[in-house]
Amino acid sequence: MLKRHARAACTALAAAGLLLAGTGGAVADPAPAPVAPSAAVTLRTADAPPELLAAMQRDLGLTPAQAKARLAHEAEAGATAARLRDRLGAAFAGAWVDGADAGTLTVATTRAADTTAIRATGARAKLVARALADLDGARAALDRAAGPATPVRYVDPRSNTLVVEEAEEGAAARLLAATGTDAALVTVVRTAEAPRPLYDLRGGDAYYMNGSGRCSVGFPVTRGTVNGFATAGHCGRAGTTTTGFNRVAQGSFQASVFPGSDMAWVAANTNWTSTPYVKGSGGANVQVAGSVLQPVGASVCRSGSTTGWHCGTIQQHNTSVTYPEGTISGVTRTTVCAEPGDSGGSYISGSQAQGVTSGGSGNCSSGGTTFFQPLNPILSAYGLTLKVSGGDPGPGPGEPEPGGTWKAGTVYAAGATVTHGGATYRCIQGHQAQTGWEPPNVPALWQRV
């Protein structure tokens, strides 16, 4: 490290000497400020492995060029939508991407004056009657009274309504009456599906609970010097022991929540080491570079120990689902298929970890709907650090971080504020901070205020 500093100092002095010699002592114009990296660069979409791109082509019907373009477009759309959500405040009514390559971003607002600002970013503007926060509030009221007859509730930003799926005729109407919810807010969809947890240290690998039931590893993590993984809460309770895919003793559940949420983490023994990988197509390693949640309409792939590697799209965030065991809230609804034993497994979009498999309906022969528990709340709740690949090694001796409250390893939700280098920044996309993602360096994640 000292050698690096000496070389840098000599280079700087030599450059200064040449400048003075060539200009007669004149002071040069300051160098232009470096261009901030795009969201696609920050999220490393160009590094998507071939097996992920191949699965997207297979499951989403894309060409190779469309698969690559889609990941880049989704990253940029997520950052743009996050900035607009921050700017529009209470008028924000949701955002989504469309098109085979996700090249079209639409942002909805309840305020006509916002449409010009939305279009100025290159997005389409849609004026609607209801704000996202209002529809989310109505969904939360339904959650408190819902049962298996109305198993799924979510806000659909495209239709600007609260969707209630009913398994029997009249169930939605009874739920609305019981909660005093305005029927004008709601679209009722009849369903024959009955979501259930998919029972039965690389993401997607199998593990076994108490030597019997099987689930799948979500994402390898660390907590201090302890290695482990995040997974679904319904797979085990605190104290449940686990063995790995090879039936070798692995560890035990440290904490678990289900229902309400569907989150847990397992601490592994010293024979197991966390890796920054998810098991991809054919068993290949897919690298995990971060945990930035992607927008509605974005592609997402899942790895599980029963059905392997499958892809689809994100349908809605912040969905509520009622299983026979109870209601969970805050999960994301997807078109990816899954089957029993896939529970707890990894959902990843490009290189960004999204969440762990909770439950669903259907199967990978006929198709289905699945739900994942977003990963960032798990990391935050249990003080875990996602194992990621690459990244800057960080400052060495004699190179202190600029002063401020920002800290690598912290999970930041959209709207959180930090200071860094004497400036204040607001988080626009939820993520776990890591070295190299300091606020001035990643405008896709932070906005200076």
C-beta atoms surrounding 210 within 10 Å = 13
Q: Among the options 73, 234, 317, 431, which is catalytic?
A: 234
Q: Among the options 274, 303, 343, 351, which is catalytic?
A: 343
**What residue ranges in 128-248 does DSSP mark as E strands?**
152-156, 161-166, 186-190, 196-197, 206-209, 213-216, 219-223, 226-231, 241-243
CA distance 262 to 231: 8
Q: Among the options 114, 262, 310, 342, which is catalytic?
A: 262
Whole-angstrom CA distances from 268 to 40, 221, 242, 265, 285 are 34, 10, 9, 10, 20
Q: In this structure, what are the phi and psi dihedrals at residue 377, rounded to the nearest 5 degrees? A: -60, -30
Residue 343: active-site member? yes
Structure tokens that stand for 47 in this block:
């590094």
DSSP assignment of 28-50: PPPPPPPPPPPHHHHTTGGG--H
CA distance 424 to 440: 10
CA distance 350 to 311: 11
User: Which residues, listed in sequence order, are joined to residue 426 by a DSSP beta bridge?
Assistant: 417, 447
CA distance 253 to 228: 9
CA distance 76 to 42: 10
Tell me the catalytic residues: 234, 262, 343
